[in-house]
Structure 1
Amino acid sequence: MKVLVTGTAGFIGSHVAMRLLDRGDEVVGIDNLNDYYDVGLKQARLDRFRHDPRYTHVHADLADRDAIATVFGQHRPLRVVHLAAQAGVRYAAENPHVYVSSNVTGFLHVLEGCRAHAVEHLVFASTSSVYGANRAMPFSEHASAEHPLTLYAATKKANEQMAHSYAHLYGIPSTGLRFFTVYGPWGRPDMALFLFTRAILAGEPLKVFNHGRHRRSFTYVDDIVEGVIRCLDRPPTADPAWNGMEPDPALSGVAPFRLYNIGNEHPVELLDYIRCLERSLGREAILDMLPLQAGDVPDTEADVSELRRAVGYVPQVSVEEGVGRFVRWYRDYYRA
C-alpha cells in the first residue's frame, strides 16, 4: 500500500520509512530538512533509502498549506504516519513560534489532507511529556494529562485533541502514540545519549541534571518502530457500546480514535544509563551534577498494557544491548 510518512529525514521517521519499504510498501516521505541540528545527518539518513524505487521524497514544510494539500492530492496515500515535528523540550523557550507553526498548524494541514482524501488510518506521534505534572506511576493513558509543563508537550497535547475532533467529525481513524525517551542509531544530536557519548570521548564533563536521579523508560528505536507498524495495520473504530457517560481519555467512545503509550515498561535511572554507556565505550565519565531543570519531569514510567492487548506489543531490546548498538553506530559514523 502507499503510506505517507512525515519526517523521513528524522530519527524515528527514517527508521519507519525503511521498515515499510522493507516489507514492500510504497512510501511518500515529507521533510523540510531544517537546520535545528546537523542537516548532514538528516541527509545521511535519507541516503539509506531515497534511491529505492518505491520511495518518493517531497521537500516541503508542514506549515505550507498549499504544499501539503498538493502532496495529498498527487499521491493519495492510503495511510499516514505523522512523525514530523519541531522537537526538543528546551528549544521551545527560544523559538516558541516555530513549535506552533510546525506542530500545530502543520498537523492541521495533515488532518485536512486526511479528511479531503479519505485516508483510512492516521498514526501520529505524541509524547510522554504530555503527562507533565502527573505523578501517578506508571503513566496510564486512562489518567488525565491536562497539565503539560512545556510548550512542546502542550503542542503534542493539542495534536491529540485535534485528531480526536477530526476522528469524530469526519470519521478519520486516528491513533496517537505517546513515545517514551527513544534512543538508538541515527538518533538526534541534542538528546542525552548523543551528548554523553560525545563528551565522554572528548574527556569533557557530562551535565547530569537532577543529580542523575531521573528515571526514564528508555526505549530502543526498533521497538518503537515495531509498535508504530503494528498500530498502522489496525485502524481503531468507535465503541458501539458507548452509553453516553464520561468518555475515557484513551479512547473516547464516540470516535474511531485511540491513544497508546509506547515504551519500555522497565525504567532505568539516569546514572545506570550512563554506566551502560561507560561500559560500551570503555571509558569513565566525568559527571557535573546539577539540579533539576525547569520543565523537566523527574521520572517517566510507561504502562503499555493497552498496546500489548491491542497489537501484542512487547519491547525486545534491553538498555545494555541498545546502548551498545548505538555506540557501535556512533563510532562508525563519526570515525570516533
Structure 2
Amino acid sequence: MKTLVTGCSGFVGLALAELLLSQGEEVVGFDLSPVPPAALALFSALPGGFAYQQGDVRDAIALHYAMHTHRPQQLVTLAAITADTRREREASQAIFDVNVGGVLAAIGAAADCGVARVLHISSGSVYGATGRAPFSLDEARSPLAPEGLYGLSKRTAEEAALRLASLRGMPLCIGRLGTCFGPWEADSGVRDTLSAPLQLLQIARQGGTALLPRDSQRDWLYVRDAAQAIADLLAQARWQLPVYNVAAGFTWWLSQWCRRLEARHPGFRWRLAEPGEVPNVDLYADYDRASLSVQRLCEATGFVPRFDLAAADQDFHQWLACTARHEHKGAQ
C-alpha cells in the first residue's frame, strides 16, 4: 500500500512514516519543509520505500503533480498550522488557508488522481469549551465548541472535508488527535506551542528550573501510539463510522513527568509559580481539557496504547540518546 502524507515533516507525520515504513509500506511525504536528515537516514534503513515531494498544501497544482507522479492509494492529511494567539492576531487568514483550504485542495487532487480514500487528521481542539466539563469527550455526544482560530479551523475543515468527499464519492474518515509528545517534536515554524512534556524536557536538559502555572493532568498521547492508532485506522478495509478520537485513554500529572526528569537530569528543578511569577512552561489554556474517549477507536481497530508514562519516558530518552549519537557521527 502506498500512502501520501501531507505535513510529513511534522513530528506526527514523521512518526507515522517511520511506522508505515517499518511495516514495509510505501510512503510519499508531502511538505513545504524538508524532512530532517536524521529521519531520512532512518527511513533509508527501513524495509519500506520513502519518497519526498516538496510542496505547499495550498498549491493544488503541486498536489496534483505529487499524486499523479507517485500514484498513492490513500491519503492522510496532517498538514496544519497549530496557532497561538499571536499568530491568530497577525496571520488569521493563513491559519484557515492551510487548515481548511489545504485539506480541500488535497482531497480534490486525490479525487482527480484516483486515490481510493482519505484519512483526515483533525484535533481534539474541536471540542473546545466542552472540554472544560469533567466528562470524557465522546465523538457522538460531546458538542463541538472550539475557542480559538485553530480549533475553529479544524472544525470547519472536518465539515468541509466530509462534504467534498461526499460530492466526489470518496470514502473519508476523520481522526481527532489528542495532545501528542515524543520523538521528532520540534519547533517547525507552524507549531507555535510545543507540548508541555517537551518544554519541561528542554529545561531539564539545560539544568534549569521549570515554573509551572499549575500541576496539569491530561491524557498526553505518546506520538508512537498516535502513529499506531492512525495506522490501525488505515488498516481497516472499511470505516464503519465517520469520526474517531485518537488519544491515549489514560491521564497523568506533569508533576509525575517532572519527577522522572529530576531522576535523569540532576541539575533540573521544578515548582509551581508563585503568585505574580511568570511561568516558563506554557499549558495552552487556563484549564486542563477533559480526556478524549477512545472506546470507539479501540472497538473498531483493537488499538491498545503501548506507552504509559514509564514506557514513554524510557523510549523518549533512548530515542534522544540514539539521535545524539547519529548526529555526532555525522559531524565527524
Shorter-chain TM-score: which interval?
0.7 to 0.9
Secondary structure in 1 aligned to 2:43?
Answer: coil
Which runs of 5 or more structure 2 residues have no equivalent in the other structure? 188-193
Q: Structure 1's 192 and 70: CA in aligned 2 closer, same or farther, altered over 3 A? A: same
Indicate the larger mover: 87-96 or 13-22: 87-96
Query: Match for residue 247 of structure 1?
Result: none
1:117-151 CA-to-partner distances (Å, cap 9, x unmatched) read 33222112111111110025211111244310111
What does 1:19-58 correspond to in 2, within 5 Å?
19-33=19-33, 42-49=36-43, 54-58=49-53
Secondary structure in 1 aligned to 2:199?
Answer: helix
Match of 1:129 among 89, 113, 125: 125
CA distance in 2, matches of 1:81, 1:294: 26
Query: Match for residue 184 of structure 1?
Result: 182
CA distance in 2, matches of 1:235, 1:132: 31
Contact 2:181 2:197 in 1 (8 A): yes
Please, what TM-score do these two structures have when normalized by structure 1? 0.83
Match of 1:322 among 282, 298, 312: 312
1:283 offset after TM fit, Å?
4.7
1:328 offset after TM fit, Å?
3.2
CA distance in 1, matches of 2:286, 2:40: 31
Query: Match for residue 197 of structure 2?
Result: 193
- For 1:330, give the aligned amino acid: L
Matched, 1:208 2:204: no
CA distance in 1, matches of 2:83, 2:310: 25
What does 1:1-20 correspond to in 2, within 5 Å?
1-20=1-20
Secondary structure in 1 aligned to 2:144?
Answer: coil
Indicate the larger mover: 85-94 or 59-68: 85-94
- For 2:181, give the aligned amino acid: Y
Query: Match for residue 119 of structure 1?
Result: 115
Match of 2:164 among 163, 166, 181: 166
What does 1:232-243 correspond to in 2, within 5 Å?
232-236=234-238
Which runs of 5 or more structure 1 residues have no equivalent in the other structure? 34-38, 239-250, 252-257
Query: Match for residue 60 of structure 2?
Result: 65
- For 1:272, give the aligned amino acid: Q
Query: Match for residue 306 of structure 1?
Result: 296
1:23 offset after TM fit, Å?
1.9
Count of residues paired in the alignment: 310
- For 1:87, give the aligned amino acid: T
1:81 offset after TM fit, Å?
1.4
Match of 2:227 among 208, 225, 228: 225
Secondary structure in 2 aligned to 1:133?
Answer: helix
Query: Match for residue 245 of structure 1?
Result: none
1:268-307 CA-to-partner distances (Å, cap 9, x unmatched) read 1222232233234345423352689775542331210101
1:237 offset after TM fit, Å?
5.3
Q: Percent identity?
A: 27
Q: Structure 1's 223 and 57: CA in aligned 2 closer, same or farther, altered over 3 A? A: same
Match of 1:286 among 251, 270, 288: 270
Contact 1:5 1:28 in 2 (8 A): yes
CA distance in 1, matches of 2:73, 2:263: 45
1:85-119 CA-to-partner distances (Å, cap 9, x unmatched) read 12244553343233222211111111101221332
Match of 2:255 among 266, 271, 285: 271
Q: Structure 1's 136 and 92: CA in aligned 2 closer, same or farther, altered over 3 A? A: farther
Q: Structure 1's 95 and 285: CA in aligned 2 closer, same or farther, altered over 3 A? A: farther
